[in-house]
Structure formats: C-alpha cells, structure tokens
Structure 1
Amino acid sequence: MISFPSSPLVARPILGPLLQIVSIYGATWVGWKLLRKLLSNSPLDNLPGPPGGSWSEGHFGQFWSYTGWAFHKELAEKYGPVSKLRGPFGETIMYVYDPKALHHIIVKDQQIFEETPGFLIGMDAIFGKNLFSTTGEAHRRQRKMMNPVFSIAHMRGLKPQAFSIWLTCKIEQLRDTFVQKMENGPQEVDMEDWLTRTALELVGQSGLGFSFDPLTEDGEQHHYSHSVKNFIPVGDKLMIARHFILPLVYNIGTPRFRRWVVNTLPWKNLHELRDIVDVMQDTAVEIVESKKRAIAAGDEAILQQVGKGNDIISILIKENMKASEEDKLPDDELIGQVSSLTFAAMDTTSNALCRTLYVLCERQDAQDRLRAEIRAARRKIGGSELGYDELVSLPYLDAVCRETLRLYPPVSTVVREYVIASKIVNRFTHSLFSKRAREDIILPFSKPIRGKDGTEMHEVLVPKGTTVFPSLLSSNRNPDVWGPDADEWKPERWMDGLPDSVAEARIPGIYSHLMTFIGGSRACIGFKFSQLEMKIVLCVMLDKFKFSLPKDRKIFWRMTGIVSPSIEGGSKAEMPLIVSPAE
C-alpha cells in the first residue's frame, strides 16, 4: 500500500482546487443535462411511466431502494413491458422486459447497448482489466480465452462425474460441521453466513486453487473472506458516486495522486472500499504469482498446490501461455479475473441457495418431496454420494432450482447505455468504448404498447446516450410468457411441460428461457458451475437436515445489487433458520 502525507497543512492547498475542479465538472454536467431536457423533446416521452420523482434523483430513490419490490411490481403490472422512468436531473430512463426489445439490447445490438461508464470504470478501478470492465475487442479476447476453461469437463481437468464428486467431498465438510452443531438438538443457524463461506471456499479451491476457509465452527477464515463479503454492502453505499462522480474524475492526475486524494478525503465508506480493494488486489496478485511459479517449477510443484494445477486460474494461465500473441492476456488481465470471478461466483450462488432453502422452509411439502427424491437416488446406487449423471437426472431437484432462479433471480436489474463514443470519452476511459459514433436506433417490441397519447406503439426511436434498465425480474415473471400464475413458485411447471408461449417468446437469456444469467457476450460465464454447486449443496444438506423458519423473527429480502436476506428491520445480511436432523 502506498502511503501519502495526510497533514491538513499539506492537504488543503491541493484538495481545495481538486474539489473545485470536481464541482465545476459536476455543475457543468448537471447544467448540460437540464439544458438538453428543456430544449429538446425525446421520442421516449410518449412511453407510459409513473408520475413524480424528485428533481435530484428522479425515481431512483424508489427503484434502487432496499424495499423496492412493490415499485418494481407496479412498473411491470401498471405500465407494461416498455416504460419510462425519470433519472437524476430530468434524465429519461427506459425500463424494459419485452422479449423482442431485450433480444436487441442483450444480443443483436449488444455492441451498441454497453455497460454504463460508471459501471465499467468502477469495475476497472476495483478489479482491474477483467470481463466486467472491458468491452469490444478486449472483452472478446478475454471471453475467447475463458469460455472453454469454464466448461464442466474442463474444470480441474476431470470428467463431469469426477468433478461433481470432488465438489460433494468439499461440501461434506460443511455437513460434518452441522452434524456436530446438532449434537444437542435443533439449532438456530445463520445460513447466509455458512452458505457464503461455502460458496467462497468452493470457488476458491476449484476456481483459484486456493483455500480461504476450513468450513469449521472455529476455523480461521482468510482475511480475503471478510473483504469480499463486505464488498457489496459497502459498494451499494457508493452507487450514486460510482455512476455519476467517478467517470468525471477517474483520470485526473496520476494513480499516485488519485490514491492520495482517496486517502485524504474524509469519506468513511470510500476508505472502507479502498481497504477492501487493497486486500482483494494483494490476494489476486499472490494467487496468480504462486500459480506461475508452480507452473515454471514443474509437475511436482503444481501437485503441491491446492487445486493441483486443475483449478480455473491455473488452467487459464497454461492456456494463455499457448495462445497466439493476438489472443494472449497480459498479466494485469489475468490478475483482474481473480477477484472479479470470485465476486461473481460467491454472492450470487450463496444467495440463490439461501432463497431456495427459504422457499423450502415455507413449503415443507416440497422440502419433504425433494429429500425423498435425493434419498431414493442414493439408495439406487447403494448409498453412495450422487455423481454428476445422477444429479442431472433428478427431475424435482432440477425443477426446484430452475423455478427458484426464475422467480427470484439474485440480480433483479442490469443497466445498459446506448453509447455515444467520442475522443474525450475514450481519453478518460482508456478506450473502453469504440470510437465509432452511434446514431439513434429503432427498438422494436414483440407486441404493441399504448403510448401516453393513446396511440399504439410497435417500436420506439432510442436517442443516443439513453440509459436502459433491462429487468431480469420482470422478464422472468412476464405473464404473457409464463402464464397467469407467473408470480407463483411452482416447480411442477418444469416437469409438466412449459407453455408454448415460453419458447415462442425467444427470451435472449443463456439459461432455460430465463434472464437470470443474462445473455449475449456478457452472459454469466460460470452459470453451469453455479447450477452444479446449488444441486450438490442441496443434496448433501437436505439428506441429513430439515430446515425451518424461526418463529420469533421475520426474514426480509433486501433489493440490493445482489438480493440478500436480513432480519426485518435489520441492516446486515443474515438468514437464521432452525436446523434439525432430518427423519
């Protein structure tokens, strides 16, 4: 970590002008937004949408609220699959879950509808050059290198059957810890904490060849564990600053100067994020360098590593060594993948598992049915642990996972922007965007919507610079696609046969007609691993334990960047469940 003078006598002469520069940038940006709003009419003005919204934040206070479920439901039910929101300072935002429109945004015109500058720059500043922070040719090159590494057959260099058994053995450590906890009868257990620890350890061992957690009651966790678990709660507090301030100041001065500014600003949340990023970066460098040393030293050194050279990062480094010069990833991009992949794989999977257990607590009949299916499958193979072939052939387990991921996607909404590229933007973002200028485009709908003036709209002209919110949640619950019971948790729908409307909608998601794992070139690269992990955890734990909701507290799901459980009225992520031996 670089240290800088923090004396007020040194800070004030430099910090004052810096804040003035930021203020001028901000005031100019706000003034331009307001002037453009006053002097022009937008083709989006005829889209339906909710009234109100404050001048400074528009509808963002409701849309990004921890308790925003009702607002999102009203948007979908009252205003339909394409609607308009007010953003900060009068900005017009599109909210979209129409299948055809989503196909254009996520797949057909994905090079036009990019991640927002705030997201890309934020991911670059936090994780470095990785799949989250790159676009265009850089993103294509990284994706080309990493896609085969993430196949189930490729991970750990084993067949799917052997890989699933390896995962099962790791999750049995969690089961054994719970067996010890249950020695004196049923216990209240914070399953959010344990499932997060489990998800991190699994991605650590299979993805990074690194162990973070022994998964025991009193086991010492790696300091990286605490940092990566706190990333989302701290990052959510800086969301507005990341999207609206960071793009304006990202490249002012040298990295050393910017680090000094971060250290000097009296901003607690920023300092917490700085410390989290430092730990993640130092650990990522340590992991990549240790893998490179082991590979250079030969087979014996590789076999002494946690992943024995078959983890994702080791495989990626070895594949990168064999790649052509045009496809090869530089060291900073290899390092950038470590924490970004860990972050992507940990919270989403652990919270999907939390939601599945929560629903099974509400529906004890479904929990009993799933436990019976798991036990019957184990008896069929002589009581052994289920391998990959057995896991993927369990119909009710598959239906439970699919239906939970449909109704409760861990991420509710993503953000895209119809990019205006320019030399100024490229200078401030290290060529994150293409230099080719974009023109207004037509976004078609799968069925007409009723405009504010009463006319039928079959399409809309999208102006350059428009921000779009593709709603994963509303797409997965669209009654035109999934039927009138779209808001109900019904695993049986996957076993009885989906309605024709699901296939006909041509949802652009990479997984099972769902938007849960998104689609196109920015789809979740590890979605197969996530599904396998979910199924193995459920099989191992439900075979031995019964889960129930506590009677004295109510669990509330917070609509954070990644949806998380908490006690109603609480602020931290937790999900206490009553765990008892299953009969």
Structure 2
Amino acid sequence: MTRVRADGSKDGVELDMLSWSGRTTLEVLGQAGLGHSFDPLTEDQADEFATAVKEFFPQMSRSVLFRALLPYASKVGPASFRRWVVERAPLDYVQQVRRITDTMHDRSVEIFHEKKALLEKGDDALKHQIGEGRDVMSILLRANMSASENDKLPDDELIGQVSTMILAGMDTTANSLARALQLLADHPEVQEKLRQEILQAVEAEGDGDMLDYDKAMELPYLEAVCRETLRVYPGVTVLFRNTTKDITLPLSEPIRLRDGTLADAIPIPKGTRVIPNVGASNIDPALWGPDAHVWRPERWLEPLPRAVEEAHIPGVYSHLCVQTVILAVPSLALMPVMGPFSMTFIGGNKACIGFKFAQVEMKTVLLVLLQHFKFKPTGKKIVWNFAGVQYPSVGEIGSEPGLPLLVSPLRP
C-alpha cells in the first residue's frame, strides 16, 4: 500500500485486490494457525505458496473428468504407481494440479518439521517464534507428542492438516473479502457510511487505528455489511453429500411430482448424491421477500421477515448478529429471534469450524483498510466464476483470477 500513497494519482492506483486479499488471509492463517509467516506483504510479488493456493480451485474447476475419476484412481496400486501415471498424463490441467499440490505439500512438510523441531527443544525456543507456541499447529503437535502410542497421529496426517487448514481458510475468506471490497467500490454511499462508523468508533475508543475485539465486533453497520455480503454471495454456493442410510426428506413447501401428485416429503435411498444449494437458500424470495437478490446491508438493522425467523434453516451462521443489531436499533430487542438465518457456513457436524475466525478476520481487514483508503471500480467487466470456491476474473468466465480496483489514500 506504500505505492498507493506514493503514486498521488487522482483516481488512485489499480491493484488486484483478490491477490492482496489472498496474501493477507494466508498471512493471518499462517501466524494464527501455524505460527509461521508466509508473506510480510511488503512486496508486489506474492509468495509461491499463496499463488498455488489461489490457483487450486480455478484449476480444479477446469478438471471435471480428473475430479470424477480421482476417488477411484486413488485406490489403484501404490502411491508411487499413481504418481508415475500422473507425471506422464498428457493433460495440461492435470500437470497444473500436480504442480500446485507439490508446492503446497513441500511447504507443508517444511513447516511441519520446523515446528516439530522447535517443540522438541522446549517452550523456551517457541517464545521467540511467531505466536509463541500458542498457534493451532503447536497445540496439536504438543498434544500428539504427549499422547499414548495408540492415540498418536502419524506425521503424514499432521502434515496434511497444514494444507487442509490453509486450503479451507484462505480462498474462502479472501474471496469473500474481495467481494465485499468490490461491493463497497460499487456502492460508494455504503462505503462512506461504513467508513464514518469506523472512524467515529476509533476516535472515541480506539488505540491508534485499531479497536479491541469487543468494540470491533459491536459495530452494527460493519456487521450488517459483512453479513449481507455472506448472505447474497457465499463463497461456497453448493455442497456435495452422500446419504449413509435411507431417509425421508421433509420439504418446507409441497412440490408437484411428475405424475401430478403433491408431495411434502421425498424418500432418498442410501448412497444417493445430494447437492444442497446454499446460494439459493440464502436468496430465496419466499423467505427474504421480493428484494432477496439485492445486496442491502440495512436489512440487518431492520426486523427480519417472519418467514426467515420461522424457516429454521440448519446453519451455524445463526443469530450471532442479534446483539450487534440491537445495539443499533434498541427497539429490535422486543423482536423474537428464532435463527439461524443462512447456510453460508453450512451446519451440523460438517459445519465450518473456522467460521468465527473468518468473521473476525474479514471485519478486521475492512476496519483497517477503510480508515486509510478509498476503493473505486476500474470500469473493467468483472465476472464471478462458479468453482469449489467462487472467484472473480476480468472480462470472461474461466480466465485468470483477479479483481482490479482503483485504490487511493483517504488522506494525502
């Protein structure tokens, strides 16, 4: 961002905010989850690991046949044979996925062994490291080292947790953050209203340009902007599940079958692939009203439609905003809250375990950026691509991931 301040251009400097969002979330995940710094965010060039993770979902979305065969191919022969086949596959997208996974695996192994060596030296060695041994990986390794032989996890499983943690937490949060910045650029009145809320809070109770956790989480319009972004534009729009037993699925509304009869439940046999549509649930006009598709943060500062309250949507992203909303509109304290309101972070025992961390991260980054910078559209056409995690690109669907925005300093 030093380049933005030094440029002095009236309209601002064009920056790829998807790249910067990804680098930021990777660094936050690295420090909090692994006690490791990937990227000091001082150079224009991203870390190789960050680039690999950013390319993973776009490449996998192009590899439909590869993904379909993967569950079966993984059972054929030893790992060395499967590796031999992959290295000789004459398909570019297969080689791209191989390159990406190799980069991620090699760095994961490096981080794991560094962390394990420090833990074996004792807590004094960790005190001088990022996170001081309180990161998730240090806690996991410490517990594994003290576990009985029967309960210990093998090293390869622990190494796999490094890539899993980063892959699950980087693109999802980074792309949602990039989407929020794009929406704020497209809606300057919302951007300014949010900025004023942040500046007033920091001036009244901040330390430098930061607020403590409780104060930051209590900002009602910041909560509304983040919640509305995640409602209308969830990073993951569909899920893939297989039924483990025969079930009967109840329906919120009857549907007409092919023979013309109405049904209020559907029998689903064991082994059926079920694809819940998170995105459709979040913008269902029957629940949210005729403006369900409209990004309007103010809806969270108003009484929600009764249909939303009574829907009993089984998501973990429930009424966490209620306390914040009531602070902004005390009269809503009398409103009965049923929650949950959306499926953005899924639900049940497969729900996102890092959803609260993602919320805090998204709010913190917006809180800091909007105090110092303004964001405007470049005029270039931005399209969002359907993939494991939705991602933006310029001009055409399927092109290189990117989200250019004009960024200018709030103050010279």
Does TM, normalized by the shorter one, top 0.5?
Answer: yes
Determine the C-alpha separation between the residues in 1 that align with 2:61 and 2:243: 24
Structure 2 residue aligned with 1:523: 351
| Aligned position for 1:120 | none
Residue 238 of structure 2 corresponds to which residue in structure 1? 413
Q: How does 1:213-292 map to 2 (within 5 A)?
A: 213-218=39-44, 221-243=46-68, 245-292=69-116
Asked whether 1:578 is paired with 2:402, we answer no
In the aligned structure 1, how far is the partner of 2:206 from the partner of 2:20?
A: 29
CA distance in 2, matches of 1:251, 1:382: 56
Shift of residue 272 of structure 1? 1.9
Task: Summarize deviations over 1:287-333 as a string: whole Å, max 9, x none.
Answer: 12211111110123112323321211112212333456665433222
Given the alignment, which residue of 245, 261, 271 partners 1:455? Answer: 261
Report how far residue 446 of structure 1 moved: 2.1
Structure 2 Cα separation of the partners of residues 382 and 296 of structure 1: 40
Please give the residue correspondences for 1:414-563 in structure 2 after superposition, counting only pairs within 5 Å.
414-419=239-244, 438=245, 440-512=246-318, 513-551=341-379, 553-563=380-390
8 Å Cα contact 1:449-1:457 kept in structure 2: yes
8 Å Cα contact 1:212-1:221 kept in structure 2: no
The residue number in structure 1 matching 2:187 is 363
Q: 1:236 to 1:308 in 2, by over 3 A?
A: same
> Do 1:564 and 1:573's aligned partners in 2 also have CA atoms closer than 8 Å?
yes
Which residue identity does 2:344 align to in structure 1? Answer: T
Structure 1 pair 479/327, CA: closer, same or farther in 2 (3 Å)?
A: farther
Structure 1 distance, partners of 2:41, 2:24, is 7
Cross-structure match for 1:206: 32
Partners of 1:192 and 1:458 in 2: how far apart?
Answer: 43
Structure 1 unaligned regions, length at least 5: 1-175, 420-437
Aligned partner of 1:55 in structure 2 is none
1:249: how far off? 2.6
Matched, 1:394 2:219: yes
Q: Alignment partner for residue 191 of structure 1, among 3, 9, 17?
A: 17
Q: Which amino acid aligns with 2:201?
A: A
In 1, Cα distance between equivalents of 2:7 and 2:361 = 24
CA distance, structure 2, for counterparts of residue 532 and residue 408 of structure 1: 18
Aligned mates of 1:326, 1:520 — CA distance in 2? 29
The Cα shift of 1:389 comes to 1.1
Larger Rg: 1
> Taking structure 2 as the reference length, what is the TM-score of the superposition?
0.89
Task: Please give the alpha-carbon distance, in whole angstroms, between the structure 2 residues aligned to 1:511 and 1:392.
Answer: 15
TM-aligned CA deviation for residue 264 of structure 1: 2.0
Let me know the Cα RMSD of the aligned residues. 1.9
Alignment of 1:362-381 (within 5 A): 362-381=186-205
Tell me the residue number matched to 2:175.
Answer: 351
Letter in 1 for 2:255: I
Instruction: Check 1:327–1:456 CA distance in 2 against 1; reply closer, same or farther (3 A cut).
Output: farther
| Alignment partner, residue 427 of structure 1 | none
Query: Structure 1 CA distance, aligned partners of 2:3 and 2:204?
Result: 26
Determine if contact 2:5/2:408 at 8 Å carries over to the other structure: no
Paired residues of 2:226 and 2:363 also in contact (CA < 8 A): yes
How many residue pairs match? The answer is 386
1:504-524: per-residue Cα shift (whole Å, max 9, x none)?
111111112211111111111
What do residues 188-211 of structure 1 show as CA deviations (whole Å, max 9, x unaligned)?
111111111111111111111111
Does the 8 Å CA contact 1:321/1:328 hold for their aligned counterparts? yes
- Residue 469 of structure 1 and its aligned partner are, at CA, apart by 0.9
Deviation at 1:479, TM superposition (A): 1.9
Distance (Å, rounded) in 1 between the aligned partners of 2:206 and 2:360: 22
Q: Aligned partners of 1:330 and 1:211: how far apart in 2?
A: 25
| SS of equivalent to 2:274 | strand
Gaps of 5+ in 2: 319-340
TM-score by length of 1: 0.63
Kept after mapping to 1: 8 A contact 2:4/2:408? no
- Tell me the distance in 2 between the aligned counterparts of 1:368 and 1:281: 42
The question of whether the paired residues in 1 share the 8 Å contact of 2:15 and 2:404 is answered with: yes
Percent identity at matched positions? 49
Q: 1:505 to 1:210 in 2, by over 3 A?
A: same
